A and B are shown apart, each in its own frame.
Chain A
């Protein structure tokens, strides 16, 4: 039985070898982004942190120090709570930042792929943003550049947003219609108060330009996202086949000897 197990292991190893791609490379898939949750815990009157999909009320979580220790580039962060003002400086770029129910949250990052500022929230964000979504009556100051800024409300669109940097594309809409679509806002010019555009018309364009086309959300770079250069390697398929055949014969011979 022991030798049979050995044999099965040998066959499994052989199959793995034979199934290796021609380039002889094994690629590890990138780790999933972690989701971090920051919440104001009323019982201790403090902002706390958990690495979790949704906040576990049974636990008060850990101090924010641990968030800074654990968070990595590409991670997801949710900030939730109506407590005292929060000032969070994170030396990473985030794939997703969601802010809800905050009275005053200031978040500084190296950049954000997707920002969501939900209804009733008040926030200030430092760091470039690819896609910012501001909902209903949320208020926010975006202190760097924004590629795409989407203001959405249901039933009413009354956000208050000021952008200190440039805005490539801005859209204001509700469930029924699109009110505005503007392009190429000059730095520091974007301002909308309770859904009413305050920016001077000379500071933006009503037609898309090459630079201001709304860019689709970019997925994180995959391992195949290399520059286009001719691949000049030699195929090793026949060598792999020779090796696999040698292993199969060796396995067969060993088994035959055992049987005999």
Chain B
């Protein structure tokens, strides 16, 4: 009886051992599979990021060189303008004593980028940060560049996109730009740095280069919000594009000031325009981190460059 029990127990132990071996092998296979898949995804992502970043670098370099050359020729342009004004005055000295004011027009530093892709609406730059990217606008499909790079190739970073309800021509009261919150810091990956007041103090200015001019903005409010359900009757920052009345303007302005994580001291009044930068955060489902800036000037007008 004892012997029988012993053999039973032995068989049980051998079976268990076999089972453990099989499961160990299965686990190793699964682990290897996951590792290979993860590695593949990571490498693919790195390569695709490099490719798209190379394109952005080329565009930035082109803008920089244009800017440098235009600055170098600035003095020549001024001299020739003055000369032509003098000639104009000399010709019409009998009738006019003062020439009409000439608008200051500059070469658009981003004209190569605009020409390279018709979908580019503007170039967004926050000085001394990594946020220095083209902004795409595709009314036919708002999300077209959400997972595509500047050249239309699949890319997890995508591009910054201008909300299709925003418009540069005619200019809407609020321009909303959406961008991915990438762990790598690409796109709006570092936008949440604005939660830190000291970061805000060093990066108050935002520039948007459109085809016509350079628009400058100053950060007015920084807050966390979310995308709400369609039925929710609450303040939805992403629904504000145009203020035709004082009430519409006040509703947006009062809400962003109330939500703001800190007081920027910047105020706005009916007629002012805004730039809103929005990216995903995870404090709630469908969370968003939002930076709103008020337009302060758009003095630098550009020469037309399209035929």
Interface residues of A (CB under 8 A from B): 4, 7, 11, 18, 24-25, 221, 223, 225-227, 229-235, 237-239, 241-242, 244-249, 251-252, 255-256, 258-259
Besides A234-B180, A241-B35, 19 more A-B contacts (Cβ < 8 Å) are: A225-B231, A226-B229, A227-B228, A227-B230, A229-B288, A232-B188, A233-B181, A233-B280, A233-B282, A234-B181, A235-B156, A238-B42, A241-B41, A248-B30, A248-B31, A252-B25, A252-B31, A259-B17, A259-B21
Q: Does B210 contact A (CB under 8 A)?
A: no
Do A245 and B31 form a contact, CB below 8 Å, given A227-B228, A231-B280?
yes
Identity of the chain B residue whose Cβ is nearest the Cβ of A259 in the assembled complex: B20
Chain B proximity of A130: nearest CB distance (Å):
13
CB pair A248–B20 under 8 Å, yes or no, is: no
CB contacts under 8 Å to A, within B139-153, are 142-143, 146
Tell me the complex Cα distance, A148–B213, Å: 54
Tell me the complex Cα distance, A141–B301, Å: 67
Tell me the complex Cα distance, A237–B34, Å: 11
**In the complex, which residues of chain B have a beta carbon less than 8 angstroms from the beta carbon of A221?**
229-231
**In the complex, which residues of chain A have a beta carbon less than 8 angstroms from the beta carbon of B25?**
252
Interface residues of B (CB under 8 A from A): 16-17, 20-21, 23-25, 27-28, 30-35, 37-38, 41-42, 45, 142-143, 146, 156, 161, 163, 178-183, 187-189, 227-231, 236, 238-239, 278-280, 282, 285-286, 288
CB pair B27–A226 under 8 Å, yes or no, is: no
CB pair B41–A249 under 8 Å, yes or no, is: no
Tell me the complex Cα distance, A201–B230, Å: 37
**In the complex, which residues of chain B have a beta carbon less than 8 angstroms from the beta carbon of A256?**
24
Tell me the complex Cα distance, A229–B228, Å: 10
**In the complex, which residues of chain B have a beta carbon less than 8 angstroms from the beta carbon of A25?**
285
Tell me the complex Cα distance, A153–B18, Å: 72
**In the complex, which residues of chain A have a beta carbon less than 8 angstroms from the beta carbon of B187?**
232
**In the complex, which residues of chain A have a beta carbon less than 8 angstroms from the beta carbon of B188?**
232
CB pair A230–B24 under 8 Å, yes or no, is: no
Identity of the chain B residue whose Cβ is nearest the Cβ of A224 in the assembled complex: B229
**In the complex, which residues of chain B have a beta carbon less than 8 angstroms from the beta carbon of A225?**
229-231
CB pair B41–A237 under 8 Å, yes or no, is: yes
In-complex Cβ contact of B238 among A223, A229, A234, A249 (8 A): A229
* Majority secondary structure, A binding face: helix
Tell me the complex Cα distance, A223–B226, Å: 14
Tell me the complex Cα distance, A259–B20, Å: 7
CB pair A232–B279 under 8 Å, yes or no, is: yes
Tell me the complex Cα distance, A18–B33, Å: 12
**In the complex, which residues of chain B have a beta carbon less than 8 angstroms from the beta carbon of A239?**
38
Q: Top 8 closest A-B pairs, CB basis?
A: A248-B31, A245-B34, A241-B38, A252-B27, A233-B280, A238-B41, A245-B35, A249-B31
Chosen A-B contacts, 28 in total, with CB atoms closer than 8 Å, are: A4-B20, A221-B229, A223-B285, A225-B229, A226-B286, A227-B227, A227-B236, A229-B227, A229-B238, A229-B288, A230-B143, A230-B161, A232-B146, A232-B280, A234-B181, A234-B189, A234-B280, A238-B42, A241-B35, A241-B38, A245-B34, A246-B31, A247-B31, A248-B31, A248-B34, A252-B23, A255-B23, A259-B20
CB pair A232–B34 under 8 Å, yes or no, is: no
Chain B proximity of A84: nearest CB distance (Å):
39
CB pair A244–B24 under 8 Å, yes or no, is: no
CB pair B24–A259 under 8 Å, yes or no, is: yes
CB pair A234–B182 under 8 Å, yes or no, is: yes
Identity of the chain B residue whose Cβ is nearest the Cβ of A248 in the assembled complex: B31
Tell me the complex Cα distance, A227–B227, Å: 6
**In the complex, which residues of chain A have a beta carbon less than 8 angstroms from the beta carbon of B239?**
227
Do A255 and B227 form a contact, CB below 8 Å, given A231-B280, A241-B37?
no
Tell me the complex Cα distance, A11–B24, Å: 11
Chain A proximity of B225: nearest CB distance (Å):
11
Chain B proximity of A189: nearest CB distance (Å):
29
CB pair B180–A249 under 8 Å, yes or no, is: no
Chain B proximity of A93: nearest CB distance (Å):
12
**In the complex, which residues of chain B have a beta carbon less than 8 angstroms from the beta carbon of A258?**
20
Tell me the complex Cα distance, A25–B283, Å: 12
In-complex Cβ contact of A249 among B21, B28, B183 (8 A): B28
Identity of the chain A residue whose Cβ is nearest the Cβ of B32 in the assembled complex: A245
Chain B proximity of A104: nearest CB distance (Å):
35
CB pair A7–B23 under 8 Å, yes or no, is: yes
CB pair A230–B146 under 8 Å, yes or no, is: yes
**In the complex, which residues of chain A have a beta carbon less than 8 angstroms from the beta carbon of B286?**
226
CB pair A255–B41 under 8 Å, yes or no, is: no
Identity of the chain A residue whose Cβ is nearest the Cβ of B158 in the assembled complex: A232
**In the complex, which residues of chain B have a beta carbon less than 8 angstroms from the beta carbon of A227?**
227-230, 236, 238-239
CB pair B180–A232 under 8 Å, yes or no, is: yes
Identity of the chain B residue whose Cβ is nearest the Cβ of A11 in the assembled complex: B27
Tell me the complex Cα distance, A245–B37, Å: 10
CB pair A226–B20 under 8 Å, yes or no, is: no
Tell me the complex Cα distance, A255–B32, Å: 16
